[in-house]
Structure 1
Amino acid sequence: MKHLLTFGERVLAFQRKLAEITIDLPAGFKLINPYNGENKKLIQQVTTIFYQKFFADNIPRRLILGSSPARRGTAVTGIPFEDADHLYSETGIKIDNFYINRSSSDFLYEVMNKYGGSKTFYQDFYTSFVCPLGLIRINEKGRAVNCNYYENKKILNQLEPFIVNSLRTQISLGIDTSVCFCIGSSQNFQTLTKINNKYNFFNVIVPLEHPRFITQYNYQKRDFYLKKYLTTLTKKSY
């Protein structure tokens, strides 16, 4: 009898396909691929343990999409919105030379905890990005900085086939397409909406403010946004 892949095994297969991706971008831009970087064996260990731990089933999940992995965030760990310390507690594997905006990750962990904890949260949601590989550009000082897929129209046009194919593949993992939650209520939401209008991936896309916007610029309203996240994510139908 043929083995039916779990949700987590399908995610890992998707990531193995991402490891093969190469896209020649214009000078000054570069994709960051954690699944085929210098730490690829370590990343494979971490992602295997993580997705086998939280996604070893075939439960349909709703999709939460950020824009693209930060070069010192998910582009290092390979797991969306998870920082090294939390991954160490979940997998027992230490990832060195890692940095993330802890205020942003802490906000998302607080959302998960109030939702019922990581296990309950990941039973209902699968997190990813519109562009699942990191993107950097070289600034005027010659330094590599984060770049979002929507910041440059030429880059967006070049990445669109990859983005569309990645969304299709991830939906096939077992995604409930009645709703998609978009982290980033401005440009990411607007660009994802345009893509969705063209390809009809989801019935509705619901925007949520980015944790960095909340913690850095609206910290006094943190409780308001925390409640908004929970209310939005626990709503049964849209």
Structure 2
Amino acid sequence: MQTWADFLLHYYTSLQPPDSLPNDVQWLFPQKEKTVQEIIGQFFRKFYNDSGQRILWLGINPGRFGAGVTGVNFTAPRQLSQYCGIEHPFKSQSEISAEFIYSVIEQYGGAELFYHHYFIGSVCPLGFVQHGKNINYYDDKQLLQKVEPFIVDSLQRLVSFNINRQRCICVGGEKNFRYLNDLNEKYNWFDEIIPLPHPRFVMQYKRKSVREYVDMYLKAIS
């Protein structure tokens, strides 16, 4: 039987996004690089070398300091080595959303236990950069119109593997949740979608209450 590791490595390295994007937006597609392919291969073989069922988390889309570097969602280079035990050639930088997510992962019991039960993906599996800055798929109506078929196809492929369809964790409780919920009403991927505040919002505006938000995440997935 195909393992998650095999499925995910093929999934990310065979993505075929639209070639051109509107309004000077560029794709963030690190999995095209051989070095990143080697790193995600190590990550998937370490944590996903089985075919057991997982509950899916879906963020918005990768950013240029986290998954845009490592190819692993909500995992910047520092978290990749410190918490996942995977050495890499990347600059040892962190990213605030990754810091929050790994606080949750550590409280849950560590990366091995967490990834045994969950997979973190994104509504759009690839990220976007506009004039050197991150942009989300929903920030530009023309961009969303262009990439929606790619988003739908990518999500269809992702949920076709051994995903628990009873619930999905949506990381980003406002625009990301609304869009994902609209798609779910059309395609019936999940029985329930649980929205949670985005880690960047928590770390930027609610840093004094981080522990409360970590507990909120843990309660949602318990």
Superposition TM-score tier, normalisation by shorter sequence: over 0.9
Report the alpha carbon displacement of residue 99 of structure 1 after superposing the two structures with TM: 4.1
Mapped partners of 1:74, 1:92: distance in 2: 14
The secondary structure found in structure 2 opposite 1:30 is strand
What's 1:152 paired with?
140
Q: Contact between 1:64 and 1:180, CA under 8 Å: does it hold in 2?
A: yes
Mark the CA change 1:223 to 1:203 in structure 2 (over 3 Å): closer, same or farther: same
Q: Contact between 2:79 and 2:99, CA under 8 Å: does it hold in 1?
A: no
Correspondence 1:94 to 2:88: yes
**Residue 6 of structure 1: which of 3, 8, 22 is its match?**
3
Q: How does 1:196-235 map to 2 (within 5 A)?
A: 196-234=184-222
Mark the CA change 1:196 to 1:23 in structure 2 (over 3 Å): closer, same or farther: farther
What's 1:71 paired with?
64
Q: How does 1:112-123 map to 2 (within 5 A)?
A: 112-123=105-116
What are structure 1's unaligned runs of at least 5 residues?
A: 139-143
Correspondence 1:25 to 2:13: no
Report the alpha carbon displacement of residue 97 of structure 1 after superposing the two structures with TM: 4.0
Mapped partners of 2:28, 2:98: distance in 1: 20
**Residue 41 of structure 2: which of 36, 40, 48 is its match?**
48
Correspondence 1:15 to 2:12: yes
Q: Contact between 1:72 and 1:98, CA under 8 Å: does it hold in 2?
A: no
Identity of aligned residues (%): 34
What is the TM-score of this pair, normalised by structure 1? 0.88
Q: Which amino acid aligns with 1:34?
A: P
Mark the CA change 1:229 to 1:92 in structure 2 (over 3 Å): closer, same or farther: closer
Mapped partners of 2:72, 2:209: distance in 1: 28
Report the alpha carbon displacement of residue 33 of structure 1 after superposing the two structures with TM: 0.7
Mark the CA change 1:203 to 1:92 in structure 2 (over 3 Å): closer, same or farther: closer
Correspondence 1:104 to 2:97: yes
Mapped partners of 2:218, 2:86: distance in 1: 29
**Residue 163 of structure 2: which of 164, 171, 175 is its match?**
175
Mark the CA change 1:154 to 1:22 in structure 2 (over 3 Å): closer, same or farther: closer
What's 1:58 paired with?
51
What's 1:141 paired with?
none
Q: Contact between 2:76 and 2:98, CA under 8 Å: does it hold in 1?
A: yes
Q: Contact between 1:12 and 1:48, CA under 8 Å: does it hold in 2?
A: yes
Q: Contact between 2:65 and 2:76, CA under 8 Å: does it hold in 1?
A: no
Q: Contact between 2:18 and 2:150, CA under 8 Å: does it hold in 1?
A: no
What are structure 2's unaligned runs of at least 5 residues?
A: none
